[in-house]
Amino acid sequence: MAYVEISLSGLELDNPIIPASGTFGFGYEFADFYDINILGSIALKGTTAQARYGNPLPRIAECTQGLINSVGLQNPGVDRVIAEELPKLKKVFGKKAIANVSGFSVEEYASTARKLDDEEQIGILEINVSCPNVHDGGMSFGTDPKCVYEVTNAVKAVCKKPVYMKLTPNVTDIKAIARACEDGGADGISLINTLLGMRIDLKTRRPVIANKAGGFSGRAILPVALRMVYDVYETVKLPIIGMGGISSAEDVIEMMLAGATAVEIGAENLVNPYACRDIINDLPKVMEKYGINSLKDIIGGAHR
């Protein structure tokens, strides 16, 4: 029998599969496709203190084995997320969700996280210091170890639930950023967010996306994500949620061998709304193929 259960900072998950923030809405939208209770958890759409419309159109550009997006954290703001979105999710999802928090100052990160920390439905706070699609926020914090430490420390000071820092790959030294998270008191790390990329329209000779550049995601970035998860696993003593280019049960096992305890599925949800369900269903037979009895046993296996 294949054991797919994992434990994430005390949160027991039936399996390690989590739809990534920004690719699964607030979760309940996918309940029309299948029973979303089969998921390990759900990383909710990125939430900020105030409502945001996001970036101007166009926001999406297709790429080989991926896409570029520049949505810009469009969301209704934390108060409406709590009052409207979480109750909708509760009707169709009986497990704890992961709240994804973004901000434009240290204080804003902390105040938004504190509000979500009070919600019974939330099991983990994922603090996004890595969004490449907003100005003066997100990635501007996540590229500086000092800023990452300050955000981590401030959020931990006001929250009781586990805090996972979501890191950008657009840095020279991911190990230094990971150490800053650990020093700041983080309970775990999520990585990677999107790479910076762009496309140019040959007819107009202008960037396809109105914001010029955006976040490059999809199957093409899996090798980059694996390398960074591998490096961070060797650097800190924190559990890791690995993500970036995962599209199959084989990819999940590869990411866990690199050091991830759980994984998030991102762009693949936009291609196939059944992606997470299919991966969960495929995991036992792929585990059997490679002689794996329990997923807990393979975490960081590539380091041994």
63 is catalytic: no
Query: Which is the catalytic residue, given 63, 131, 147, 276?
Result: 131
pLDDT of residue 130: 72
Q: What is the mean pLDDT of residues 207-219?
A: 95
Output the average pLDDT for the chain: 95
pLDDT of residue 142: 81
Tell me how far apart the alpha carbons of residues 32 and 28 are, in angstroms, rounded to a whole number.
Answer: 8
Backbone φ, ψ for residue 283 (5° rounding)? -55, -50
Report the predicted TM-score, pTM, of the whole model to 2 decimal places.
Answer: 0.96
Q: What is the mean pLDDT of residues 135-157?
A: 83
Backbone φ, ψ for residue 69 (5° rounding)? -125, 150
pLDDT above 70: residue 267: yes
Percent of the chain with pLDDT over 90: 92
DSSP H or E stretch at residue 78: helix 78-80
Backbone φ, ψ for residue 147 (5° rounding)? -65, -40
Q: What is the mean pLDDT of residues 85-100?
A: 98
Tell me how far apart the alpha carbons of residues 240 and 253 are, in angstroms, rounded to a whole number.
Answer: 14
Q: What is the mean pLDDT of residues 263-285?
A: 97
The two three-digit tokens of residue 246, written as one number: 């995962």
Backbone φ, ψ for residue 187 (5° rounding)? -90, -20
Q: What is the mean pLDDT of residues 16-30?
A: 97
Closest CA to 80 of 134, 123, 110, 44: 44
Tell me how far apart the alpha carbons of residues 211 and 199 are, in angstroms, rounded to a whole number.
Answer: 11
- Is the Cβ–Cβ distance between 42 and 97 less than 8 Å? yes
Q: Which domains does the chain have, with CATH numbers?
A: 6-54+72-193+218-303 (3.20.20.70)
